[in-house]
Amino acid sequence: MAVSKIPERISRLEELANNLWWSWHPEGRALFRMLDYPSWRLSGHNPVQQLYEISQEKLEAAAGDSSFLSLYDATIVAFDEEMNDNDSWYTTKYPVLRQKPVAYFSMEFAIHNSLPIYAGGLGVLAGDLCKEASDLGIPMVAVGFMYPQGYFRQRISAEGWQEEEYSQLDFNKAPVKQILSKDSRKCLVEVQLKDRMLQIGVWLVRLGRVNLYLLDTDIEENKPEDRQLSSRLYTANREHRLQQEILLGIGGVRTLRALCIEPSIWHANEGHTAFMMLERIREEVARGIAFDKALESVQNTSIFTTHTPVPAGHDIFSAELIEQYFQNYWPSMCTEWETFLNLGRYAGSDTFNMTTLSLKTTGYRNAVSQLHGKVTRRMWHGLWPAYTEGEVPIIHVNNGIHVPTWIPIELRQLYDKYLGQDWVARRDDIGMWQHVDDIPDEELWRTRRVLKRKLFHLILERAQQRWAQGETTPQQILAMGSLLNNDALTIGFVRRFAEYKRPDLLFKNIERLKKIVNDRWRPVQIIFAGKSHPADTASKKLLQHVHTMARDREFQGRIAFLEDYDMHLARYLVQGVDVWLNTPRRLQEASGTSGMKAALNGVLHLSVPDGWWREAYNGSNGWVIGDDVVYTSAEEEDKADAEALYSLLEEEVVPLYYNRNRNNPPQMWVSMVKRSISSIVPVFCARRMLKEYCEQMYLPAARV
């Protein structure tokens, strides 16, 4: 970035652009939007790119614009006050714990679309948790991977097949800073992989008061194949995956040591990160502590969060592969091979399970919803055979969303007016949210319609852009939602495409669905969006099936599939649809958070009783599909749930939405929206979640 071109009067624009604090503070977003709106849009709301490409004339004009300077000064004051706040929730409540940070390890982080190093819900949760840690003043450092090729850009062919496009991140236009060693080398630490030493570089991302360190193997000293190790997220190659997890766990610990960061608490987000416990055991042994005592010491300060309720979803490696990569490592832990292997062995198997390793090397363990807690304790009961299933030491902490990230300015201003100017700081206060009832129906409905129009404008704009590129058929433009009607009831099915999520459940009875969506007086529209894993052929076929339905003329353009789902599109969807549909197979959704974001924005939830909805549904804040029955076959479950879904749409959802006078809001619908907001937001927000982590796990771990 050519920093010299920024006038002195507004010189701190660069500092603001390189701290993603701006992304969840409205004054920060407004500042860069006001600086130059066209470049703000063209950059994808990326102020680093905006400043990199903006002309000198526009910067000089901004430095002389009194309105811009007023907003600039107010934003700088707000930024400095928060960054230097010594009276945050954490420092006030736990002053003795503020000296050493929490280290949070995750395979992916979804912070903002300007940094595409995430694939789905796990990354979104990690990003939301880090932002909330900054807001609460929790001293946290996070460790993950810099994926210069990120996940992938999704394109749908004329035949409806997903095509993956990868592009290289331009570091000059991203909110990242490379950390150099004391001798100005890019390599910061080393990790051995078999017979070679791998060099690891580190990038820094600032998230308010939280620092996120991203590991990178694209270092000149590494072999070409090793330089690609951290290039992409979630490779299908098992050995490649093991190498990445070694780098994240062992390399992540060594990175923090090289930066002279000494955490008091270590939090592992999923089993991908578990090797960080092994590295800390090795460090303890190197200091002269016996292996058993070293293991106990690491357990006492480590937290593990699992998100995977099905056995097939856990990372498992063969014993032979583990031996190849750790034959020079486990001797340094002063233990035997069998003892080392047993750390990851479950029920006498000959494989090494990363979740087993995580559970055995941590003292605090949690699932992410009440139902997931029961499933997880049942799944891992074998590790604690002397306990009853209910006594298995795995608690649950419900997932939650970072409210400031997912709320638009229109709704934020409405909440300011009726909940109080301090509602954002009190977002986990259940009593405060009862004042949602004070919002006049007309104002809430008007705001919802504004958000819906913004979504439809984006959809049409994206379709026009693709048409202008000259490589799209009319059928594809139809499938992109070009004929959607702003006034029709709109349902969103938006999530990672996977078989267990059943994106095709709506199409079990196509003729019945056509009658629902094509009703002349009460039309219904359904928007799909989501990516299939590049190696998951079965889910790609499901996606193709949905896309085929979207191209079917008999649906009259009321089925749409929006390609290249990312955080930017997600915001418009969770804010703009009317109903959020969720249809996973029972006991296969650990929690889910997209429906929480939708509820925050006044979108009603329609879901099977799984994950977070199992405990959030209270009979009047949305709809539940089917019941808690565990079916004997997938076919039986699909048949029952499809019937229940069609009936709900026909008898409850659609009539409730259209039950109104022409010029008035649907009062019963708006009443349900209010009950949804007040009952869901304070309970399923990241502020509540992180406070529970502090009180139930961080605090006990820090007191060891």
- Render 14-26 in DSSP notation, one character per residue: HHHHTBGGGGG-H
Quickly state the pLDDT bin for 2 (edges 50, 70, 90). very low
| The predicted structure's pLDDT at residue 183 | 85
In this prediction, residue 704 has a pLDDT band, given cuts at 50, 70 and 90, of low
Closest CA to 491 of 530, 457, 537, 527: 527
Reported as a single tens digit per residue, the pLDDT across 465-487 is 999 988 889 999 999 999 999 99
Give CA 404 to chain center in angstroms. Answer: 14
Compute the mean pLDDT over every residue in the chain, rounded to the nearest whole number.
94
Mean pLDDT along residues 595-603: 98
**Residue that is written with structure tokens 């990175």 in the block:** 255
Q: What is the pLDDT of residues 332-390, one digit of tens each?
A: 999 999 999 999 999 888 899 999 999 999 999 999 999 999 999 999 999 999 999 99
**Strand order through the sheet with 524-529:** 559-562, 524-529, 489-494, 579-582, 604-607, 622-624
Contact indicator for 673, 447 with CB cutoff of 8 Å: no
* C-beta neighbour count of 644 within 10 angstroms: 16
Q: Are strands 196-207 and 187-193 parallel, antiparallel or unpaired?
A: antiparallel
- pLDDT tens digits, one per residue of 346-358: 988 889 999 999 9
Which residues are CB-contacts of 558 (< 8 A; sequence separation ≥ 6)? 483, 484, 485, 488, 517, 518, 523, 524, 525, 526
Cα 127 to chain centroid distance, Å, stands at 6
Confidence of residue 194 (pLDDT cuts 50, 70, 90): very high
* Bridge partners for 302 per DSSP: 266
pLDDT tens track for 613-662: 999 999 999 999 999 888 989 999 999 999 999 999 999 999 999 999 87
Mean pLDDT of the region 694-698: 96
Which domains are delineated in the chain?
3-83 (no CATH), 89-399+690-702 (3.40.50.2000), 403-682 (3.40.50.2000)
Q: Are 632 and 159 within 8 A, CB to CB?
A: no
Integer-rounded Cα radius of gyration of the chain: 25
Distance CA 200, CA 221 (A): 10
- H or E element that contains 582: strand 579-582
- Phi, psi for 136 (deg, rounded to 5): -85, -10
Q: What was the pLDDT predicted at 150?
A: 73
Confidence grade of residue 3 (pLDDT, cut at 50, 70, 90): very low
Query: Which of 226-235, 406-415, 569-578 shows the lowest mean pLDDT across its residues?
Result: 226-235
Task: Look at residues 573, 614, 577 and name the one whose alpha carbon lies nearest to residue 592.
Answer: 614
Amino acid at 323: E
Cα separations (Å) of 359 from 168, 316, 380, 381, 554?
Answer: 36, 14, 9, 11, 52
pLDDT at 86: 80
Q: Are residues 547 and 160 in contact, defined by beta-carbon separation less than 8 angstroms?
A: yes
| Nearest-angstrom CA–CA distance, 243 and 251 | 11
Q: Round to whole Å and give the CA distance between 149 and 116.
A: 8
Task: Give Cα separations from 547 to 342, 509, 559, 594 (angstroms).
Answer: 47, 16, 9, 22
Gap between the Cα atoms of 678 and 355, Å rounded = 36
- Determine the Cα–Cα distance for residues 590 and 607; give it in Å rounded to an integer: 14
Q: What are the Cα distances from residue 417, in Å, to 49, 421, 669?
A: 34, 7, 22
CB-CB contact of 369 with 397 (8 Å)? no
Please check the confidence at residue 236 and state whether its pLDDT lies above 80. no
The sign one gets for the Cα dihedral 361, 362, 368, 372 is positive
* pLDDT tens, position by position, 8-63: 999 999 999 999 999 999 999 999 999 999 999 999 899 999 999 999 999 999 99
Helical H runs in 193-331? 224-227, 238-246, 252-258, 275-286, 291-300, 319-326
